[in-house]
Structure 1
């Protein structure tokens, strides 16, 4: 039977993704909800960018696999998933022009690892940062340039789903189970210490809370079920939506029986309530260690 990982994460970050801006105002990427609030986000493309960056920095992922020889920036034909973990996990599209020996068209590999956007769990309330380059201007006796930048410190949530059966398989290319397990475990290690470089800052995107496991179907069970509420000056994780997700049963898959939780102690006000959600609640390091062990068991390595 097929197996997939899905995990939903809560982390804390500040001003993670900017859009085009207007004049000298840098605007955060935001969504509007019918509750009248704006919620900032870091797009799935931004998260994937930093996963790739850390994959190269830590594990030596080969990112030198693209060019513009066909008029658009895309992956080179000579590279396959055997050469590129990035292409294996996040997919690709290669196009070909019609010619004497080529019918044209495109070759597409769908992403095996699918990310959602990271959405803030606290509404944006129009905080702004006033900026200038006064230090540089003073050196040459000039007036400084001025700018404004939207700021938002918040908890965020995102979800990742990884189809374990499709890792390392692409047409005639079939990798060994040891290599498949290595690639998935490297991705999990990156998620554990994920960070983002933006505007002179390095933001820590590693989980403060993570819920998930390995299931018989590829489905983001906890996407849209993660929320926060304030009680006595502390943030609590809303447990009722998570309980409803844990109660789901489909085919032979009981979500609760296959789910673990990782939690950084001392952050959220209802830790005792969180510990009652599932049988296995531990630190974030223990969560990833257990998940990697189950990946190895599934691939038989």
Structure 2
């Protein structure tokens, strides 16, 4: 019998050669976003950084129609806040996808939907150690490039050209990051507002089964191909390890289970301890580690779900389906075929 589930949660280890987020900076000094955790300082991102990249890729790569936006201005024509148009958050079709998945807030009407997609943002596995680099505008001041130089009026030529000029100091960081995504399936593709009013639970409208299933596949596809555009660099945040699965309860079970030692060996006893502690053996769990990662000696005899994290993440989109009761289920038949 197919098992009822209400959540997909994935805790992912990835790697980036560059920082994934910067603060606003102060003058010509660019600071990495970071925070204190325990006795160390770690690089991090904000939730909005991740959801921005996800929206962008869902639109460009998966052909999502993003919401039209209301620019709510005050009497001085300054934008106070922005929110989706009524058509966007009251549409149970392709036009309503972004508002449905990422949530919304309409202050003037006191209407909102909490996103069924929850994020614990990227955090570096290893502490930040205060590395800094100097950025200059040498490419603009190289005389060998045969440029002409002008004063600010752009008419009279500038004779006194500086040899070089420092533009900024920038903190740098590269290494492993971990993040968690949790999807509340029972609220995915569910219209909670109609005609400007909240709907009671038994009155809520559902997107079609086909759309809901495709939405989940699209989100999981983006997770496997998530990129970050930052400071003229594009980074593929490829999953190197993933702990998670599809579960009965909406809980990010594995959010703090990824630990690397000083030699970057992964301790996979943590997810197995979580599986045992929360009695998840009968649920659809995933423990997948790319074989480029080293494991602790004590963990070599532990059986992984797979050595292909990307395939395991996509597999969840293939084996989960919406039943006639509008609830989500794991297809045992599809799961067994995937194993073969």
Whether contact under 8 Å (1:61, 1:84) holds in the other structure is no
Deviations 1:14-61 (CA, angstroms, capped at 9, x unpaired): 2110002222110000011332x2100011111111011100110122
User: Equivalent residues in 2 for 1:1-301 (5 A)?
Assistant: 1-13=4-16, 14-35=18-39, 37-69=40-72, 71-80=80-89, 81=91, 82=93, 83-96=95-108, 105-138=109-142, 139=147, 140=149, 141-142=161-162, 143-171=164-192, 172-230=204-262, 234-249=263-278, 254=280, 257-270=283-296, 273=299, 276=302, 278=304, 280-296=305-321, 298=328
Q: Secondary structure at the match of 1:116?
A: strand
Match of 1:99? none
1:264 is displaced (CA, Å) by 2.1
Question: What TM-score, normalized to structure 1?
Answer: 0.87
**What is the DSSP-based 3-state SS (H/G/I as helix, E as strand, rest coil) of the residue aligned with 2:129?**
coil
Per the normalisation by structure 2, the TM-score is 0.77
CA contact (8 A) 1:28 1:151 kept: yes
| Number of residue pairs matched by the alignment | 285
Looking at structure 1, the residues matched to 96 and 171 of structure 2 have their Cα atoms a distance apart, in angstroms, of 37
> Which range moves more in the overlay, 204-213 or 282-291?
282-291
**Bigger Rg over Cα:** 2
Which deviations, in whole Å up to 9, do the C-alpha atoms of 1:81-129 show, x marking residues without a partner?
5313221111111233xxxxxxxx4111111111111100011001111
Note closer, same or farther for the CA distance 1:87–1:277 as it changes in structure 2 (3 Å cut).
Answer: farther
Unpaired runs of 5+ residues, structure 1, are 97-104
Alignment root-mean-square deviation, CA: 2.3
With over 3 angstroms needed to count, the CA separation of the structure-2 counterparts of 1:275 and 1:94, relative to structure 1, is farther
Matched with 1:101 is none
Q: Helix, strand or coil for the counterpart of 2:299? A: helix
Distance apart, 1:274 and its partner CA:
6.2
Work out whether residues 65 and 97 of structure 2, in 8 Å CA contact, stay in contact via their aligned partners in 1.
yes
CA distance in 1, matches of 2:227, 2:294: 21
